[in-house]
Amino acid sequence: MSVPALVAADIFEPYGFEFFRNGTVVAVAAGALCGLLGVFVVLRGMSYIGHGLSHAVFGGAAASAVMNFNYFVGAGLWGIVSGVLIGRIARRRILGADAAIGVVTTASFAVGLALLNRYGQAKRSIEAVLFGSVLGVKTGDIIAVVVVGLLALGVIVVGYRRFLFSTFDPEVASVSGVRVSLMEAALMVMLSLTILVTMRVIGTLLISALLVIPAATARMLTNRFARMLWISPLIGGAGAFVGMNLAYHTNTSAAAMIIIVCATAFSCVYFASGVRGKRRVAALGHL
Amino acid sequence: MILKAAPDNLLVSCHHLSCAYGENVVVSDVTFNVERGEFVGIVGPSGSGKTTLLRAILGMVKPVHGEVGTVKGVRLGYVPQVESVDWNFPVTVLEVMVMTRPQRRVLPRITVAERRSANEMLERLGLGGLGNRHIRELSGGQQQRVFVARALFHNPDILVLDEPTSGVDVRTRHEVLHLLADLHQDGISVLLTTHDLNGLAAHLPRLVCLNREVIADGSPREVLVPDVLERLYGAPMHVLEHGGMPVVLDHAEGAVIKPFRPRAV
């Protein structure tokens, strides 16, 4: 075989395995989905909420594993309740909202950890939830990610102006008849569902990175909200694809490699973009 | 709250209105109306309840006592303070206008009709040709006018502005004042809050002086008088007259720093 044929065979080698094909499909869909919702996370200055929420969902996942409860129902309910709660805390600007979120979500994380230690097959489950695993991806996971992805896309397209208005100027939006708290709750539910269906692949520790990095990179590349909504998922999906392949060939964690690829893309854009691009990310708030 | 039985020319009504945050009563027993065609300024010191009163009228704060509301069918155009939004947000001037319109189609594209009417409104407010600019690229006065244009985009019966001249330079203040005067001339009613007595309040036809409760209600000549101002600000203040208009010396008596005079050797 010639050298290029060998290289080609090597590049396509992982696709001979079903687990890799399934894993790549889920990772790309997850990357795109996190990229899409990440636009709202980043522009609303909620980067910390994405981080906290993924930790909170871990508690729900652990509790449902220990109680032999369906994972999606248990962790999903837990995630949605904490998401809506966090949204309310953030919106009402209760004193020290970030501290309150920190307490709620880390406590949830700690409860999950303790439950798994005490009752579960601790080590394996914890690692799987924290760092995710492409090996265990089943058809159900693919369906779940794709369904949540299409749902999120549909909701955002149909409610585009209301989401935009309540993100840009919630006060005037509410006076103009937009139900800002409903939009916020919808966003939090979508965020919780996204974390829920992607955590098996990427793991809770790294989900927040995928919610922030593609959107922040997209923000440097454009000054238009509508363009961010397709650039960010593109970066997330492409980062996931490249990361999966690199992970196979370097024998490293897929989640870690996906984030490293996205972070590298961010750094390249950051250094390549002028003062204006840097100012755009500098202006992104945080909570 | 929507008031049903009301005279034709009534737009906004407060009736023995009280608002509180917990135990802290911020607005107490306030009664006043705004009628069609009026231009009313709510004046008072910082923390006097101006913004809370405005928020109660807009339905954002629930009263603890009394009634507040707009008459049925009256459309409010709310113009918040310029600093209330992040001007780095990735949208253009046109998008700021159009996002307030309901999305009638599945895909959120701006229709030709929407683009035309938004551009007409921008043109009317002296912002012609700026529709595709990012909002960060505008001056402070232009940003203020974009907010006014956005509020006018819905053909409101009354414009409600929160501190429209707060944090702006003298030129922008003049621009805003002239713009509001022109709009009023065109038949739009205006209600605003301000703590700028000489720069803005003295030019308005009617002032409601608020310090938790209504201290006085009338024309600048009637209410910008030492007696009312002392009750409003809790300190004696002087009023001069210049060009037929009252000018308030905005320092309390006794608090003036005396010029330094070197002693003769």
Higher pLDDT residue, B134 or A123? B134
What parts of chain B have a pLDDT lower than 70?
1-7, 250-265
Inter-chain residue contact A280 with B89, CB threshold 8 Å: no
List b or e across A73-87, with b for residues whose CB sees 16 or more CB atoms inside 10 angstroms.
Answer: ebbbebbbebbbbbb
Which chain A residues are Cβ-neighbours of B88 within 8 angstroms? 279-280, 283-284
* Antiparallel, parallel or unpaired: β B10-21 and B24-35: antiparallel
Closest residue on chain B to A155 (Cα): B106
Q: Which of B76, B91, B108 sits opposite A160 (nearest CB)?
A: B108
Q: How far apart are the first and last CA of chain B?
A: 72
Which chain B residues are Cβ-neighbours of A279 within 8 angstroms? 88
Closest residue on chain A to B91 (Cα): A224
Q: Which of A160, A168, A176 sits opposite B89 (nearest CB)?
A: A168
Q: Which of A175, A228, A284 sits opposite B60 (nearest CB)?
A: A175
**Residue pointed to by tokens 């300024």:** B41
Compute the C-alpha angle B196/B201/B205, nearest 5°. Answer: 170
Q: Which of the four pLDDT bands, split at 50, 70 and 90, describes residue A227?
A: very high
Residue A129's region, left for phi above 0, alpha for psi from -120 to 50, else beta, is alpha
Cα separation, A256 vs A262, whole angstroms: 10
Q: Which of the four pLDDT bands, split at 50, 70 and 90, describes residue A2?
A: low
Which chain B residues are Cβ-neighbours of A223 within 8 angstroms? 90, 134, 136
Cα separation, A98 vs A104, whole angstroms: 10
**Residue pointed to by tokens 């696709």:** A15
Neighbours of B175 (CB within 10 A): 20
Q: Specify the pLDDT at position A172.
A: 92
Q: In what order do the strands lie in the sheet with B65-71?
A: B2-3, B65-71, B10-21, B24-35
Q: Which of the four pLDDT bands, split at 50, 70 and 90, describes residue A123?
A: low
Cα separation, A112 vs A207, whole angstroms: 17
Cα separation, B58 vs B77, whole angstroms: 10
Q: Which of A162, A168, A171 sits opposite B91 (nearest CB)?
A: A168
Closest residue on chain A to B75 (Cα): A176
Which residues lie below 8 Å from residue A29, measured CB to CB, with a gap of 6+?
A142, A145, A146, A149, A237
Which residues lie below 8 Å from residue A80, measured CB to CB, with a gap of 6+?
A188, A189, A192, A193
Structural domains of chain A sorted by starting position, each given as residue range(s) with its CATH number in brackets: 20-282 (1.10.3470.10)
- For residue B67, the cross-strand partners are B15
What's the burial of B201, exposed, middle or buried (CB within 10 Å: 0-12/13-18/19+)? buried
Q: Which amino acid is at B253?
A: E
Residue B213 CA, chain-centre distance (Å), reads: 18
Inter-chain residue contact A176 with B154, CB threshold 8 Å: yes
The dihedral over CA atoms of B244, B228, B44, B203, expressed in degrees to the nearest 10, equals -10
- The contact set of A with B (CB < 8 A) is 43, 157-162, 164-165, 167-169, 171-172, 174-176, 219, 222-226, 228, 279-280, 283-285
What's the burial of B59, exposed, middle or buried (CB within 10 Å: 0-12/13-18/19+)? middle
Q: What is the 3-state secondary structure (H, E, C) of chain B?
A: CEECCCCCCEEEEEEEEEEEECCEEEEEEEEEEEECCCEEEEECCCCCCHHHHHHHHCCCCCCCEEEEEEECCCCEEEECCHHHCCCCCCCEHHHHHHCCCCCCCCCCCCCHHHHHHHHHHHHHCCCCCCCCCEHHHCCHHHHHHHHHHHHHCCCCCEEEEECCCCCCCHHHHHHHHHHHHHHHHCCCEEEEEECCCCCCHHHCCEEEEEECEEEEEECHHHHCCHHHHHHHHCCCCEEEEECCEEEEECCCCCCCCCCCCCCCC
Q: Specify the pLDDT at position A9.
A: 63
Using only C-alpha atoms, chain A has a radius of gyration, in whole angstroms, of 19
- Helices A122-131 & A204-221 angle (0-180, nearest 10): 10
**What pTM did the predictor assign?**
0.85
Q: Which amino acid is at B246?
A: P
* Antiparallel, parallel or unpaired: β B158-162 and B39-43: unpaired
Q: Which of the four pLDDT bands, split at 50, 70 and 90, describes residue A6?
A: low
Q: Specify the pLDDT at position A7.
A: 65
Cα separation, B258 vs B246, whole angstroms: 24
Residue B79 CA, chain-centre distance (Å), reads: 7
Check if the beta carbon of residue A137 is closer than 8 Å to that of residue A23: yes
Encode pLDDT of A185-203 as tens digits: 898 889 888 888 888 778 8
At residue B39, what are phi and psi to the nearest 5 degrees?
-135, 100
Q: Of B23, B5, B106, B98, which Cα lies nearest the Cα of B64?
A: B23
Coil/strand/helix, residue A92:
coil
At residue B237, what are phi and psi to the nearest 5 degrees?
-135, 150
Check if the beta carbon of residue A135 is closer than 8 Å to that of residue A201: no
Q: Specify the pLDDT at position B3.
A: 58
Cα separation, B106 vs A158, whole angstroms: 5
Q: Specify the pLDDT at position B47.
A: 84
Structural domains of chain B sorted by starting position, each given as residue range(s) with its CATH number in brackets: 2-249 (3.40.50.300)
Q: Of A215, A207, A213, which Cα lies nearest the Cα of A255?
A: A207
Encode pLDDT of A128-185 as tens digits: 767 777 777 888 888 999 999 999 999 999 999 999 999 999 999 998 889 998 998 8
Residue A252's region, left for phi above 0, alpha for psi from -120 to 50, else beta, is beta
Count of CB contacts below 8 A, A vs B? Answer: 71
